[in-house]
Amino acid sequence: MQAVGEHRATILVVDDDPAVLVLIQAILVAADYRVWPAVERADAVRMARQKHIHIDLVLMDVRLPGVIGTELADEILSIRPDVRVLWMSGFVDAEVVRVKLVDEYAGFLPKPLHRDGLLSAVEQAIQAVPQYQDEKPLTAGAAGICS
Q: What would the pLDDT profile of 66-99 be if each residue is shown by its tens digit?
A: 887 778 988 999 999 988 888 888 765 555 555 5
Partnered with residue 86 across adjacent β-strands are 59
Which DSSP state fits 133? B
pLDDT more than 90, % of the chain: 43
pLDDT for position 129: 64
Nearest to 35, CA basis, from 22, 17, 51, 19? 22
Decide: pTM greater than 0.85. Answer: no
Q: Which CATH superfamily is domain 10-127 in?
A: Response regulator (3.40.50.2300)
When pLDDT is cut at 50, 70 and 90, the band that residue 147 belongs to is very low
56 neighbors 126 (Cβ within 8 angstroms): yes
- Asked if 119 and 86 count as a contact pair (C-beta separation under 8 A), the reply is no
**Residue 94 CB-half CA count within 13 A:** 15
- What's the confidence (pLDDT) of residue 111? 82
pLDDT in tens, 93-131: 555 555 555 545 546 777 888 899 999 999 988 887 655
